[in-house]
Amino acid sequence: MDAMTRWLDPDEQRTWRAFLTASRALMDALDRELQRDAGMPHAYYEILVRLSEAPDRRLRMSELADATGSSRSRLSHAAARLEAEGWIRREECPTDRRGQIATLTDAGYATLAAAAPGHVEGVRRHLFDALSPAQVDQLRRISETLADHLTGSRPN
């Protein structure tokens, strides 16, 4: 093995694997439930949430990609599907011919409002119900530290 590589010690390896397993299991469960109950993957739900929280339920596509942690091409593909469902509308940006604005439609808002209670219950059941209040605080602080380290900003 390479002497320059900083290999994980047994405790770090155990922590890493537990983190991976828990993260994947949580996101898989939430994605499965949203797909079953609302007919959409978690990535689409997150797009609708971000638009619902934006002023006038509108965001530039580049801002939406940043907010959802998605590549521009992945977001463009998702937006085409959401637009086909009638949940969002894309328009040319009036100040930048290359840019587009995504707007959450009334139908998209209604779809989000119908999906939200089940999704929130899933988050509560799969994540928060398993943790003590002190663990929730620790998880938030650890997650904020990682977000700061990896992206330079905390998630909203």
> Is residue 6 assigned to a domain?
no
> Is residue 71 assigned to a domain?
yes
* Domain with 109 in it: 31-122
Instruction: Mention every residue, 6+ apart, whose C-beta is less than 8 A from residue 148.
Output: 154
The whole-chain average pLDDT of the chain stands at 93
Q: What percent of the chain has pLDDT over 70?
A: 96
> Is residue 4 assigned to a domain?
no
Mean per-residue pLDDT, 3-19: 94
At 89 the pLDDT is 97
> How many CB atoms sit inside 10 A of residue 103's CB?
15
pLDDT in tens, 97-150: 778 999 999 999 999 999 999 999 999 999 999 999 999 999 999 999 998 998
Report whether pLDDT(94) > 90. no
> Which 8-state DSSP code applies to residue 156?
-
Q: Which two tokens stand for residue 84?
A: 């086909």
Provide Rg for the chain, Cα atoms: 19
> Is residue 65 assigned to a domain?
yes
* CATH number of residue 85's parent domain: 1.10.10.10
Strand partners for 103: 58, 89
Which pTM does this prediction carry? Answer: 0.86
At 97 the pLDDT is 74
Instruction: Mention every residue, 6+ apart, whose C-beta is less than 8 A from residue 55.
Output: none
Please tell me the total count of domains within the chain. 1
Cα distance between residue 88 and residue 111, in whole Å: 11
At 151 the pLDDT is 82
Are 38 and 114 contacting, i.e. CB atoms less than 8 angstroms apart?
A: yes
> Is residue 58 assigned to a domain?
yes
